[in-house]
Chains A and B, each alone.
Chain A
Amino acid sequence: MATHTLDITKDHCPMTFVKTKLKLAQMAQGDVLEVLLTDGEPLNNVPRSAAEQGYKVLGVEHVEGDVHKVTIQK
């Protein structure tokens, strides 16, 4: 079980979702993805849409400033 990271703090809609989705698609079942993202639309919707698509959201934690880390398991 590998852990992958993805930084989408500089991206905007829709690439925040697109990059997360494409990264999750490349990963093996059981792998974990740590996504660094910012407040607002990405923080509100990346974990929600991942959960809706059947991925397991393991946690959301504040890193610093407006940056958060969302941990998703495939």
Chain B
Amino acid sequence: MQKKLSLIAFSGDFDKLTAVFTLATGAAAVGYEVNIFFTFWGLDAIKQKRGRSFVGGNWLTRMFGFMMGGLSAAPNSRFNFCGLGPRIFRHLMRKTHVATLEELVDAANALGVNLYACEMAMHVLGLERKHFVHEVKDVLGVATFLQISEGGQTLFI
């Protein structure tokens, strides 16, 4: 039976998303089935628009959408320095031949990592399936995620 790793990506922070995609790509590359369930701030990582844009169902969620932004607007959990922190990290990663967050996301897609979006968080934040990248396999609730992750390891980041 294939080994399995399921990750709950709750955080939308640059460093924590880097951890999510490092684990996901590493596990997929050594033969694991990998599932990532994006919820709350983690949904920023799978938005089609990687910068800042007014996505949402009403003015409040559109404001939220703009402030949260997408993958390339993700802030650091520490030493963010008004958005300068992730830029410094990206520079250091390139300089030391470590994959950047965007490269890890591309690798995850190439390796067939399964991406899922949380239905409830999408509803709260006014997001729809059309706002996400086409690699998102499905929109799920807790019960289906538990079913998918059963028998493997699960991490919450």
Q: Which residues of A contact B (CB under 8 A)?
A: 10-15, 17-18, 20-22, 45, 49, 52-53
Contacts and interface: CB of A to CB of B under 8 A. Distances in A.
B23, B25, B29: residue with the most chain A Cβ atoms closer than 10 Å = B29
Interface string B7-30: 000000000000000110110111
A17 B29 contact: yes
A52 B25 contact: no
Contacts of B97: 10-12
B57 interface: no
Tell me if A's interface is mostly helix, strand, loop or mixed.
helix
Contacts of B96: 12
B98 interface: yes
Interface of B: 22-23, 25-26, 28-31, 96-99, 103-104, 107, 110-111
Given A21-B111, A22-B110, A15 B99 contact: yes
11 contacts: A14-B25, A14-B107, A15-B107, A17-B25, A17-B30, A18-B28, A21-B111, A22-B29, A52-B30, A52-B31, A53-B30
Nearest to A49: B30
A65 B9 CA distance: 40
Contacts of B110: 22
A14 B31 contact: no
A22 B30 CA distance: 11
Nearest to A48: B30
A18 B25 contact: yes
B53 to A, nearest CB: 30
Nearest to B103: A15
Contacts of B103: 15
